Amino acid sequence: MSPQSNNGTAPVRRIVLTGAPGTGKSTVVQAIEAQGFSVMKEVSREYWEETGYGEGGNDPWRNLIAFSKAIWKLRAEQHKAADWLSGSVFYDRSLLDILAYMDAGEKSIPEEMDPSKFPYHQDVFIFPPWEEIYQMDEGRWEPFSTCHAIHQSLVDTYQEAGYSLVIVPPGSVQERVDFMLKHLRDH
């Protein structure tokens, strides 16, 4: 499977990478982008920076509903932007991740957050918690102990929406990229 040109001749194939924080998703997305694929990067950190993260902005631990609505809007815009691309487009999280985080935070999901309007490729790559690579920082505030609950909420959310989860095994970044690309070639 080679990167597709963005000339609009091939239909877009929206491929999601999901998982709890600190599982290596974003690093793998960067490696995929370096190989010439189109990517839709995680929008949360950029949003935090723009809204005064750490200074009273709508970050998740202060107001999960407001934060989730803002991220929903940004991810919906990413989904629509990919309509102009072709071939495989890799997403560092999807709209369903927002629902999973809200569920893990025991919040009711607003009616307007309907993921059925934003379909993705049937096979979703999930990165399980991996303590050896997990690191907290100013944008990753969750202790590792919460990763298993978030992971389970992601599994439940995607399965309830009818997606098939493909577990990305631990390994080097290149091994993980190769695993995903091989799976996509074979399916």
The count of structural domains within the chain is 1
Decide if 98 is inside a domain: yes
Domain that holds residue 171: 12-186
- Could you report the per-residue pLDDT of 33-92, keeping only the tens digit for each? 999 999 999 988 777 777 765 455 545 556 778 888 889 999 999 999 999 999 999 999
pLDDT at 4: 45
Q: State residue 138's pLDDT score.
A: 67
Residue 59 lies in a domain: yes
Q: Which of 16, 4, 13 is nearest to 154 (CA)?
A: 16
Q: Does residue 162 lie in a domain region?
A: yes
Q: What is the pTM of this model?
A: 0.88
- Here the CATH number for the domain that contains residue 157 is 3.40.50.300
Please report, for residues 31, 68, 73, 85, 174, the alpha-carbon distance to residue 76 in angstroms, rounded to integers and kept in the order given: 24, 12, 5, 15, 29
In a domain, 1, yes or no: no
Look at residue 3 and tell me if it is in a domain: no
